[in-house]
Amino acid sequence: MLQHFFNPSSVAVVGASQNPHKIGYEILENIIQYNFRGAVYPINPKADEILGQKAYPDLMSVPGKIDLAVIVVPPALVMDVVEQCGEKGVDSVIIITAGFKETGPKGSHLEEALAVRARALGIHVVGPNCLGIIDTTSSLNASFAEGMPLPGHIGFFSQSGAMCIAILDWAFGQNIGFSRFVSLGNKMDISEVEIMLSMERDANTRVILGYSESIDNGPHFMEAARRVCQTKPIIIIKSGTTSAGAKAASSHTGALAGSDNAYTAAFKQSGVIRAKSMQDLFGYAMAFATQPLPEGPSVAIVTNSGGPGILAADACDRSSLHLTPIRKETADRLREFLPPTAAVYNPVDIIGDATEERYEKTLEVILQDDMLHSVLILLAPTAAVDAEAVAYSIVKLAKNADKPIITVFMGERGVRRARRILQDHSIPSYEYPEDAISAMDAMASYRRWREKPPRQYRHFKGDTGKVRQIFSSIIKQHRHDLIESEAREVLRAYQFRLPENRIAKTTKEAVLAASEIGYPVVMKIASPDVLHKSDMGGVRVGIENDAQVEEAFFDMTSSIRLRQPDARILGVMVQEMIPQGKEVILGITRDMQFGPMIMFGLGGIYVEVLKDVSFRIAPLSVESADAMIREIRSFPLLRGVRGEAPADIEAIRDALLRLSQIAIDFPEIIEADINPLLVCPEGQGAVAVDARFTIHE
């Protein structure tokens, strides 16, 4: 579909100018000077010729067909040019012009009208407010960036034009090449989704890189990314990670869920690798674009000095990689030529007087060991070593290697040329061991993601009619928050296990309810207006007898009346006390871009302080539910510590999947917490003790 953007037979530049200070000149110049092989048509009503090319007053005057039009006229003229494109049958347009959505309501309006018209004319648009597109395979530089990147295997897209310029400049310095370079601008029509899909099909792109500020259609993005990641890695740096929207939230889940959590979850679920910095972005790209994926997590480190070896080993320890001990056969082979003071375990320390020959022999032996899946070569520029000669040895051995070889030549002056040799021969070379390990970890993780069997989804048939009835009655009452009994009904409709309970309006009713349920009981204030009941003195646990019920009833109702006089009190809920278990919290929040998001964490009152929670976008697969349970730092507490019985993890998973189903079935739920879900020991299930839901019309 996007073929004309990347490999057109003819390009028109509308707004091409003879004035070398204008963008319309620069774009035309870029197209011509980097040897684009197709026809080029400058369009300008005042010029006969620009940069040696015959100019045309308008698109209709061009004799041939036009595959791609680049528009560089002022904003007020863009609509007219788009109309001309329609008339001429141009189906692909890059709008460089700024002055649209990014400028405010008036610009937004103009952009919207433009989008509607382009769609009606069957025209695809990159931009507006963008830098343009570069494709090194077709030698097309339809941008006003300075210079043409080297050909390479990295496909890059960016929402920021300035970032494009900075990255291009940086890549020149690093000798890093690109297959395609796309500045998305305002994403009026073509977004990262279409670009990722086009790069998936592009034979010259091995790894897809992106700088993203926002993703408009989350589910669409996830679907595309999940598909593309099956064959090509996608690495994205996402800026704008603040969670301003979370401040107004009333539930725990809402307060904890910033939009950044949604992005993190969506990236994880669709296989996208998230770079934390620009350094990571290109560090990972170098490794992915040039090296085969490792067969597994086992890393061998070869070094001529102890310190860097230890730093690398420490970084390994913090990652998913394994520093596997070198097996005996390999160690014996290494001992044959290494000095007795060398360490032949892992890291393999070939010590300070190592020469290029020692490096080469060691690497040769390591590469032959199938138990080692990737190799990290560290070099400190000692007087004994010729760093450039080591670089050439690595290049020679890498030609036939089937595992990733990554290098860290530490220092600057003594290793600069050696690093360049490695880079020129597609061997990733980093300045610091941590960066190298981070890239290797990303590769191993990506491989694991790709090899996972297809995700399993379970459908739970809830009593949707019942829930709908509850929700419509609440909306009719102009309420948004469900009271506890309503929340319980919703959970019951999806077969959650709930504690026995009764609502009591008087002390007498409370005593009766408690004796029917059986002591001990829990009592909670029943009010649609009291959101955090325990904070307000609205919860009492471990009530043992009638006298304590009476006392609690009185205390609670008076405490609420005192602290929140306007709260409506419907009575007190008397509840079965669940004997023992671990408290966890489950929640729903709705993200603007990605839709319903499910949260999991260890429950109780400290959840917002500790923030030890995990998120995934609904619908959850069984695997995602499992992963989010295991991901929290306090997971070992659920497995049981100091002889405790492990908690029923399967019951948590089941509850997460059911909650995900509720979130999918009822888009009107904007926030929900099940807090706590009391998880009994293994095999004994889990009970939803308390829940709250907030809905909107």
Contact footprint for ligand COA (CB under 6 A):
14-15, 17-19, 22-24, 43-47, 72-75, 77, 81, 96-99, 129-131, 161, 183
Minimum CB–partner distance for residue 188 and ligand COA (Å) = 13
Beta carbon nearer to ligand COA, 146 or 608: 146
Q: How far, CA to CA in Å, does 6 sit from each of 67, 92, 94, 134, 658?
A: 10, 10, 11, 7, 45
Cα angle, residue 131 at apex, residues 187 and 39 outer, rounded to 5°: 105
Rg (CA), the chain: 31
Beta carbon nearer to ligand COA, 57 or 542: 57
Query: What is residue 485's DSSP assignment?
Result: H
Helices (H), 232-305: 252-256, 259-270, 278-290
Minimum CB–partner distance for residue 463 and ligand COA (Å) = 53
Beta carbon nearer to ligand COA, 130 or 224: 130
Minimum CB–partner distance for residue 70 and ligand COA (Å) = 10
Beta carbon nearer to ligand COA, 239 or 558: 239
Minimum CB–partner distance for residue 631 and ligand COA (Å) = 38
Concatenate the DSSP letters of all residues of 342-354 into one string: SB-SSSEE--TT-
Please state whether beta strands 234-238 and 207-212 pair in parallel, antiparallel, or not at all (unpaired). Answer: parallel
Is residue 335 within a helix (H) or strand (E), and if so which, with residue range?
helix 328-335
Token pair in block for residue 288: 């992915």
Q: Which residues pair with 539 in a beta bridge?
A: 524
Half-sphere exposure of 254 (CA within 13 A, CB side): 18
Token pair in block for residue 392: 């050439």
Minimum CB–partner distance for residue 13 and ligand COA (Å) = 9
Beta carbon nearer to ligand COA, 75 or 254: 75
Beta carbon nearer to ligand COA, 74 or 542: 74
Beta carbon nearer to ligand COA, 81 or 114: 81
Beta carbon nearer to ligand COA, 46 or 328: 46
Beta carbon nearer to ligand COA, 143 or 269: 143
Query: What is residue 647's DSSP assignment?
Result: B
132: three-class secondary structure by DSSP: strand
- C-beta nearest to ligand COA: residue: 161
Query: What is residue 455's DSSP assignment?
Result: P
In 10 A of CB 566, how many CB atoms? Answer: 6
Minimum CB–partner distance for residue 168 and ligand COA (Å) = 12
Minimum CB–partner distance for residue 181 and ligand COA (Å) = 13
Separation CA 374–CA 388 (nearest Å): 22
Minimum CB–partner distance for residue 174 and ligand COA (Å) = 22
Minimum CB–partner distance for residue 260 and ligand COA (Å) = 25
What are residue 325's phi and psi, to 5 degrees? -60, 140
Separation CA 673–CA 692 (nearest Å): 5
